[in-house]
Amino acid sequence: MAKIYTRRGDGGETDLLYGGRVSKTDPRLEACGTVDEAVSALGLARSLVEAERLKDILKEVQRELFTVGAELATDSQEYPKLVRHFSVVTPEMVTRLESLIEELTQEVTLPQAFIIPGASAASGALDLSRGILRRAERRVVALKEQSLLHNPLVLQYLNRLADLVFVMARYEDRGLPFELLTGQST
């Protein structure tokens, strides 16, 4: 088995995809790390949700977030290599998320009040994932502002995904009483 550690990062630097070394505090790594957190949080949510439909969606977006991470970990000068050897975020990926949001919102009534996360373990994990995705989105906005974001669809994808995860949490709890979702009585 290959070693897990290489010691190359012991000095506080790491490799970008397709070459180049940067500080572990580089804004691209902040964005990548936050996307990685989201992948893990979505995995927790996937292990807790009851609806098979949501499990399938979650597994698919976890895979797609690896594509997002690869884009964020690639220097703009090396982007053509990424396009040749890997996939990138596409308009179709964003459109698919929008379609899923539309489908799920037709099957759930969203309360007209603030929702307190944690009505169920699954929705709590989904809401945690959504918060992490929103942080990833903010990190990607920072990259865009520094001209370090090659593909603006990455930002759109993260924005739609956070919206989808919000709806998924409500879908998972769709049979629970209003009071449990909002902490308010009707």
The CATH number for 160's domain is: 1.20.1200.10
The CA–CA distances, whole Å, from 90 to 46, 152, 186 equal 24, 10, 43
CB 108 within 8 A of CB 174: yes
Does residue 184 form part of some domain? no
Which residue did the predictor score with more confidence, 184 or 163?
A: 163
Length of the chain: 186
Contacts of 6 (CB under 8 A, 6+ apart): none
Contacts of 99 (CB under 8 A, 6+ apart): none
What pLDDT score was predicted for residue 164?
98
CB 22 within 8 A of CB 16: yes
Most confident of 80-89, 111-120, 175-184: 80-89
Does residue 29 form part of some domain? yes
Which residue did the predictor score with more confidence, 185 or 135?
A: 135
Instruction: Give pTM, 2 decimals.
Output: 0.91
- What are the pLDDT digits (tens) for 41-79? 999 999 999 999 999 999 999 999 999 999 999 988 889
Does residue 31 form part of some domain? yes
DSSP 99: H
Does residue 4 form part of some domain? no
- What are the pLDDT digits (tens) for 96-131? 999 999 999 999 988 788 888 989 999 999 999 999
Residue 23 confidence (pLDDT) above 70 = no
Does residue 21 form part of some domain? yes
Does residue 5 form part of some domain? no
What pLDDT score was predicted for residue 185?
67
Task: Give the CA diameter of the chain.
Answer: 58
Domain of 106 in residue numbering reads as 13-174
Residue 145 confidence (pLDDT) above 90 = yes
- The total number of structural domains in the chain stands at 1
Helix (H, G, I), strand (E, B) or coil at 17: strand
